[in-house]
Amino acid sequence: MMEPQASLRVLELYSGIGGMHYALKESCIAAEVVAAVDINTVANEVYKHNFPNTYLCAKTIEGMALDDFNKLEFDMILMSPPCQPFTRIGSQKDVLDPRTKSFLYILEILPRLSKTPKYILLENVKGFETSVASDKLIQTLESCRYTYQAFLLSPTLLGVPNSRLRYFLLAKLQPDTFCFQTSHQILKHFPDHDDADLRSRDGSSFNQMLSTDSNKKEQNKSEYCAENGKSQVNLLYKLETSEHQKQKQIQDNNLSIQLIQDFLEEGLQNPSLYFIPPKSLLRYALILDIVGQTCRRSVCFTKGYGHYVEGTGSVLKTASDVELSEVFQSFQALSEDEKLNQLSKLKLRYFTPREIANLHGFPSEFSFPEKTSLRQRYRLLGNSLNIHVVAKLIRLMVE
Ligand SMILES: C[S@@+](CC[C@H](N)C(=O)[O-])C[C@H]1O[C@@H](n2cnc3c(N)ncnc32)[C@H](O)[C@@H]1O
Ligand SMILES: *[C@@H]1O[C@H](CO)[C@@H](O)[C@H](O)[C@H]1NC(C)=O
Ligand SMILES: *[C@@H]1O[C@H](CO)[C@@H](O)[C@H](O)[C@H]1NC(C)=O
Q: Is the dihedral of CA 166, 171, 177, 183 positive or negative?
A: positive
pLDDT of residue 4: 56
Gap between the Cα atoms of 83 and 39, Å rounded:
15
pLDDT of residue 384: 98
Indicate the burial class of 381 (C-beta count within 10 angstroms; 0-12, 13-18, 19 or more): buried
Ligand 1 centre to CA of 380 (Å) is: 10
Distance of CA 128 to the CA centre of its chain: 16
3-state secondary structure of 240: coil
Burial class (CB in 10 A: 0-12, 13-18, 19+), 6: exposed
Beta strands in the chain, from DSSP E residues, in sequence order: 8-13, 31-37, 56-57, 76-79, 119-125, 146-153, 166-173, 290-292, 315-317, 348-350
pLDDT number for residue 101 = 93
Residue 44: per-residue pLDDT: 98
Q: Determine the atom of ligand 2 nearest the C-alpha atom of 255.
A: 1
Report the separation in Å between the CA atom of 58 and the middle of ligand 1, taken as the mean of its atom positions.
Answer: 11
**pLDDT at residue 226 in the model:** 46
Dist. CA 20–CA 286, nearest whole Å: 36
Please compute Rg for the chain using Cα positions: 22
pLDDT given for residue 237 in this prediction: 56
Neighbours of 58 (CB within 10 A): 15
Closest residue CA from atom 4 of ligand 3: 220
Q: Which residue is closest in CA terms to ligand 1's atom 15?
A: 82
Q: What is the predicted pLDDT for the residue at 243?
A: 83
CATH 3.90.120.10 at 219-381, yes or no: yes
Is there an atom of ligand 1 within 6 Å of 100 CB?
no
Query: Among 201, 42, 8, 227, which Cα is nearest to 119's?
Result: 8
Question: Dihedral, CA atoms, 22, 27, 29, 34, nearest 10 degrees?
Answer: -20
Closest listed residue to residue 45, CA positions, set 82, 17, 23: 17
* Contact predicate 14/105, CB 8 Å: no
Q: Class of 8-194+386-398 per CATH?
A: alpha beta
Q: Which ligand is nearest to the CA of 230?
A: 3
Please say if 83 is a catalytic residue. Answer: yes
Q: What's the pLDDT at 251?
A: 93
Report which bound ligand comes closest to the CA of 224: 3
Other Cβ atoms closer than 10 A to 110: 19
Give the residue extent of every domain in the chain.
8-194+386-398, 219-381
How much distance in Å is there from the Cα of 346 to the middle of ligand 2?
29
Q: Is-contact 251 296, C-beta < 8 A?
A: yes
Identify the active-site residue in 57, 83, 225, 300: 83
Q: Distance between terminal CA atoms of the chain? A: 8
Query: Which atom, in ligand 1's list, is nearest to the CA of 15?
Result: 5
CA dihedral 20, 22, 27, 29 (to 10 degrees): 90
Pairing of strands 348-350, 315-317: antiparallel
Using an 8 Å Cβ cutoff, are 351 and 261 in contact?
Answer: no
| Listed residue (60, 59, 69) closest to 98, CA to CA | 60
Query: Is residue 13 lining ligand 1, measured as CB closer than 6 Å?
Result: no
Residues with CB under 6 A from ligand 2: 156-157, 250, 254, 256-257
Do the two domains 8-194+386-398 and 219-381 of this chain adopt the same fold?
Answer: no
Q: Tell if the pTM clears 0.85, that is, is over it.
A: yes
Residues of the chain with pLDDT under 70: 1-5, 90-91, 193-239
CA 219 to ligand 3: nearest atom: 13
Say which ligand is closest to the CA of 189.
Answer: 2
